[in-house]
Amino acid sequence: MATATFRIWRGSPQGGRFEDYSTEISEGMVVLDAIHDIQARQANDLAVRWNCKAGRCGSCSAEIDGQPRLMCMTRLSTLPLDRPVTVEPMRAFPVVKDLVTDVSWNFRVKKQIKAFNPRPPDAQDGSWRMLQEEVDRVQEFRKCIECFLCQDVCHVLREHHLHEQFVGPRFFVHIAGLEMHPLDTEDRVPELRQAHGVGYCNITKCCTKVCPESIRITDNAIIPLKERVVDEFYDPLKKLFAKLWGLV
């Protein structure tokens, strides 16, 4: 049987290094299979997060040969195996151990975003009427599996570390899903401009490229949100009227 070498980052918040592990490979294998084999046979204490093994839960995010990917959806047949495959943790988040990173910031950010707040029900039984065409757009955003690969690749977070001023692509998708929800009555546009920092995004579309769910993050979520901010705060006509009549 063929073997391949995996160059896996092993370490802690204090530091670490790559270590090479060779393991047998077979047809159809994905990177996570290889990691599991290495964990079971050679490195019992190798730390890796995973759950569903089918690209649904978004737990096994890592950087494979430098690319942010889900380990469970990366087939070995798509990688060059004549040299070691590097597997390292997401670099935009602090390391916990080996391939596991501390993504708790994401959960704190979500808590700060205004919750869904529906209009009163349309029918006696407490239900609403919505057409499929109305929900299609938001259903795209709700495909998000919270793998945080978009956060990992976003330079505002990865290079500039603006975690306190910028919520990142994942949460623009989340906010877009709320703002465009046919039932929602809340207004999140002031926060988008201030606390959520949508202005920092300069639409390089790196997030869209790595999304395993193929959500068009930049085009369908971030740009429309930027437009809402512009409409509300930078509309020249509105400004003129405000000046003339002292409206805010």
Give the binding site for another protein (CB under 8 A): 12, 26-30, 32-33, 39-40, 44-59, 73, 75, 96-98, 100, 102-104, 107, 110-111, 115-116, 118, 121, 125-132, 135, 138-139, 142-146, 178, 181, 183-184
| Minimum distance of another protein from residue 78's CB (angstroms) | 10
- Residue among 82 and 125 whose Cβ is closer to another protein: 125
Measured from the CB atom, is 181 or 188 closer to another protein? Answer: 181
Q: Are 88 and 9 in contact (CB under 8 A)?
A: yes
Q: Give me the sign of the Cα torsion angle 78, 220, 89, 145.
A: negative
Decide whether 43 or 162 has the Cβ nearer to another protein: 43
If you count them, how many residues does the chain have? 248
Query: What is the SS3 assignment for 67?
Result: strand
Q: Compute the least distance from the CB of residue 163 to another protein, in Å.
A: 18
Structure tokens at 123: 């029918």
Task: Report in angstroms how near the CB of residue 233 gets to another protein at its nearest.
Answer: 26
DSSP state of 75: B
Give 1: exposed, middle or buried? Use CB within 10 Å, 0-12, 13-18, 19+.
Answer: exposed
> Could you tell me which of 179, 178, 177, 175 has the C-alpha nearest to residue 201?
175
* Distance of closest approach, residue 96 Cβ to another protein, in angstroms: 5
- Least distance (Å) between residue 160 CB and another protein: 25
Q: DSSP 3-state assignment of 2? A: coil
- 8 three-class SS: strand
Least distance in angstroms from the C-beta of 236 to another protein: 35
Q: Which is nearer to another protein, 92 or 226 (CB)?
A: 92
Choice between 128 and 234, CB closer to another protein: 128
225 vs 226 by CB, closer to another protein: 225
Cβ atoms of 146 and 49 closer than 8 Å? no
Give the nearer residue to another protein in terms of CB position, either 167 or 226: 167
Give min distance, CB of 174 to another protein, in A: 8
CB atoms within 10 A of CB 225: 23
Alpha-carbon distance of 96 to 16, in angstroms, equals 11
Report d(CA 94, CA 116) in Å as an integer.
Answer: 30
